[in-house]
């Protein structure tokens, strides 16, 4: 019971702090801030690599890729979220050029095709 009450007070405090933070901030400025936050967490980048795994059930393609300067990434092997069409278009062992959206280490493919 004591834990529940503490949690409730914490939640109320958080809610009132958020309201205070928004007060006096005109909505256009707030919209701009939110766009910048969105931009900060989703970065578009491109790379070249070799397909290692096509995980149809998991909806992921694992790619051993070269360095990604735009994200300060070294070469590594990692899984990217992919659509059924993207997974159907590639095969294990294929060299690919691809573009993706990155949120931290979470990558979602936006384009993938044979390396030129
Ligand atoms: Cu990576």
pLDDT tens-digit readout, 92-109 = 999 999 999 999 889 999
Q: Using CA atoms, how far apart are residues 108 and 102, in angstroms rounded to an integer?
A: 7
Neighbours of ion ligand 1 (CB under 5 A): 76, 78
C-alpha distances in Å from residue 77, one per residue of 55, 62, 115? 14, 7, 17
Instruction: Identify the residue with better confidence: 2 or 56.
Output: 56
The pTM of the full predicted model, rounded to 2 decimals, is 0.65
| Cβ(30)–Cβ(21) below 8 Å | no
Cα 57 to ligand 1 centroid, rounded to whole Å: 21
CA of residue 31 to ligand 1 center, whole Å:
31
Dist. CA 101 → ligand 1 center (Å)? 11
Whether 34 shows a pLDDT value over 70: the answer reads no
- 75 CA → ligand 1 middle, Å: 7
pLDDT (mean) for 51-66: 98
pLDDT digits (tens, 9 = 90+) for 60-104: 999 999 999 999 999 999 999 999 999 999 999 999 999 999 998
């Amino acid at each position: 019971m004591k834990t529940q009450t503490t949690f409730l007070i914490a939640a109320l405090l958080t809610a009132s702090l958020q309201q205070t933070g928004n007060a006096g901030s005109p909505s256009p400025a707030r919209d701009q801030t939110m766009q910048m936050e969105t931009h900060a967490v989703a970065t578009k980048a491109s790379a070249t690599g070799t397909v290692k795994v096509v995980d149809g059930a998991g909806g992921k393609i694992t790619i051993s890729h070269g360095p990604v300067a735009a994200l300060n990434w070294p070469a590594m092997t990692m899984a990217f979220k992919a659509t059924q069409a993207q997974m159907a278009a590639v095969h294990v062992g294929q060299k690919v050029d691809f573009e993706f959206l990155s949120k931290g280490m979470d990558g979602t493919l936006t384009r993938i095709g044979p390396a030129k």
